[in-house]
Amino acid sequence: MASGVKEVLPPTLDPASEFPADIFDGTTKLFIAYVCPFAQRVWITRNCKGLQDKIKVIAVDLDNRPAWYKEKVYPANKVPSLVHNNEVKGESLDLIRYLDEKFEGPSLLPEDPAKREFAEELLSYSDSFNGAVFSSIRADGIGEVGSAFDYLENALGKFDDGPFFLETFSLVDVAYAPFVERFQPFLLDVKKYDITEGRPKLAAWIEEVNKIEAYKATKYDQNELLAALKRRFGLDTA
């Protein structure tokens, strides 16, 4: 899996940051926020494809965004966004497909038709998975969180030929990894719920994902992520 050399991460831009003069100079840029799992999907894909020298990462502060980001770059005012050929594109699942299809580097979807079909099913389910977990966080007890992670456990057993959803690390793993990275410690801390208990395939998947250098380079401080989620849901972060 291509990962390139270790890069120095850029500082986070806020309202005091000037509009970068080179945004529309024809080179490719990826706007992210270090705490955002949707942006992390595209960042991981960029690293897996070995595009660190081809796609520049620019980080913005989601809680205090530069005004120029909405006015001059991406009217939706969210991340991720990709500036490619002086055009701006968004939406994380669309962007990971776009990078995989349009840029050089190893393919992140298998050739096998059955696995391709299952990849589409899993990518389509990812929004429902996230929604079920977020709903459970707001609810008393664990709500639908058990069935959501059972779905992943069962999906990991569909093809018994590797630790990942489609044998080798793919866009499907990319789509889920940033969210599991956040949900696992959060649910354990807030709900006292261990997502890996009784789910050996999910536990093995998490272990193997954490060995992928392209993913590891995008991981954020777990305490910061936990605090950010607690703030989002109005929970005490003390």
Instruction: Using the 3D structure, point to which of 53, 85, 107 is the last residue of a domain.
Output: 107
Same domain, 94 and 118: no
Average pLDDT, the chain: 94
In this predicted structure, what is the pLDDT of residue 80? 98
Same domain, 102 and 158: no
In this predicted structure, what is the pLDDT of residue 2? 47
Q: What is the pTM of this model?
A: 0.95
Same domain, 131 and 211: yes
In this predicted structure, what is the pLDDT of residue 4? 46
User: pLDDT tens, 171-223?
Assistant: 999 999 999 999 999 999 999 999 999 999 999 999 999 999 999 999 999 99
* Residue whose tokens read 């980080």: 59
In this predicted structure, what is the pLDDT of residue 82? 98
Same domain, 137 and 221: yes
| Model confidence band, residue 235 (pLDDT cutoffs 50, 70, 90) | confident
Same domain, 103 and 2: yes
The answer to whether residue 162 scores a pLDDT higher than 60 is yes
Q: Is residue 238 part of a domain?
A: no
Q: In terms of residue numbers, what domain contains 134?
A: 113-233
Instruction: Using the 3D structure, point to which of 107, 122, 154 is the last residue of a domain.
Output: 107
Same domain, 177 and 224: yes
Instruction: Using the 3D structure, point to which of 58, 80, 107 is the last residue of a domain.
Output: 107
The verdict on whether omega for the bond into residue 80 sits within 30 degrees of 0, i.e. cis, is yes
CATH at residue 200: 1.20.1050.10
Domain count, the chain: 2
CATH at residue 43: 3.40.30.10
Q: Is residue 25 part of a domain?
A: yes
Distance CA 120, CA 70 (A): 31
